[in-house]
Every structure is written in structure tokens, then in C-alpha cells.
Amino acid sequence: MKKNRDKEDCFIVEGDKIGKECMRSIPDDIGLIGCIAEVENLVPKNLHDKSFILSPKEFERVSRLKTPNKLLIVIKKPSIISFNSEKKFIILENIQDPGNLGTIIRTADWFGIEQIVCSPECADVFNSKTLQASMGSFLRVTVHYKELTSFLEHTECNVTGALLDGEPLKDDSMKKSNAIMLGNEGQGISKSLEKFCNNPVKIPGHGGAESLNVSVAASILMYEWTKK
């Protein structure tokens, strides 16, 4: 739970792929490694003193996932890198689904975007589902939690906002923007934050679907934003 992660200042990742990336990238931040015997060979020698073997039954008891993996790592929360307004960033308001947040983090990493600013109501970056969906990209994308009205009032930025009444997205729609804003899965960007969207856009559709998933919309906007 988040209160336990905050209290202990650590979080848990599960899975072979994400686990190997953490052991390679941030070995000094790793506290404990638990695994079943068949994947013990994945643990590098420099981390053997922090690892222990669990039986499959024991692993099921400690896993946070419905379908447990074979490797679990307890990691100290990293120090937050200072926000840099000179770099491109994504603004997320009240994104509730940890899977959506994790997918947006992964996509941002793919497109070379290193910063995401979330409202306090967004899903927790260290939630196990967020981490799984990010596929290790949380190691390269810094997520800041800020009160967005105050943040936007004090940050110089040109924001492209995903709004239903925005202008249809075109090739040059985002060339002057240094930030993208997306809102809650059901409600979109709130009225109180719409005023900060200098460049309101919408993604044109040609089928019968009512809307796009927020992580899909984010992917389309990031592609258009970063393409040469």
C-alpha cells in the first residue's frame, strides 16, 4: 500500500525483465531480492548477499500480483531529480488507472521525454501495476507530484491540451509547445485547468468509438510532438 511505501521509503518490483534492469541500473538502491530457485542465476554476484530463495508457495504469499512472477525486489525510493522547465514535459491530471500511468511513462521514455508532472490525485508511480506497465521506464522518466494550478501559474510553458472542443490535430499543431496536458480517464481536463492550455487540440477519429484510452491519446500526441 502507498502509506507503507511512504513510511518505509521503498517500493517493490516484480518480474524477470524489470528485475534484471533494476539490478543492472540501480544496484546500490536494492534492499532485498526474493526469488524462486529456478531464477536464482539471474541475481548478479554483487547482490548475492541481499538475495534469498523462496518456495513457490512463499512467493505467492508475498507477491502483489494476481499472477506472481519469480523474482521480487525491494528498492529504496530514488531521490527526485529537480524539475527542469527548459525540457519537454507531460502534465497529467487525475489519472486513476495505474496501468495507464505506467504506459504513459513507458511511451514517454520511448520518445525521449524525461519528465512527467502529475496532480496529487493521480495513481502512484510506485504502485506495482504502474511499475509493471512502465516496463522499467520509471528508471529514466522522473514523475513529479504537484498541485497543478499553482505549478502552471508559476511555470512558463506553452501547453498543448487534449480537449474535446480543441482544434483537429495537424502536423504542425504542436511545434511551439513544450508541454502536453491530458486529463482524467472519464472527465478529461478540468475546467479550472483548461485556461492553461494555450493550444487546445483533439485527435480526429473516423470510426464509431466514443473516445480513446488516455494512454493511447498520449502516445499519439507524443509521436506528433517529437517527430522531425
Judgement on whether residues 71 and 96 belong to the same structural domain of the protein: no
3-state secondary structure of 114: coil
Number of structural domains (the chain) is 2
Range of the domain at 167: 89-226
Tell me which residue has cell 511512504. 6
The distance in angstroms from the start CA to the end CA of the chain is: 42
Is 180 in contact with 196 (CB distance < 8 Å)? no
Of 76, 111, 136, the residue that ends a domain is: 76
Closest residue by Cα to residue 144 from 81, 95, 192:
81
Of 18, 45, 76, the residue that ends a domain is: 76
**pLDDT tens for each residue of the chain, 228 residues long:** 788 888 889 999 999 999 999 999 999 999 999 999 999 999 999 999 999 999 989 988 888 777 778 999 999 998 888 999 999 999 999 999 999 999 999 999 999 999 999 999 999 999 999 999 999 999 999 999 999 999 999 999 999 999 999 999 988 889 889 999 999 999 999 999 999 999 999 999 888 888 899 999 999 999 999 986
Strands 10-14 and 142-145 turn out to be unpaired
Is 214 in contact with 185 (CB distance < 8 Å)? yes
Of 49, 76, 103, the residue that ends a domain is: 76
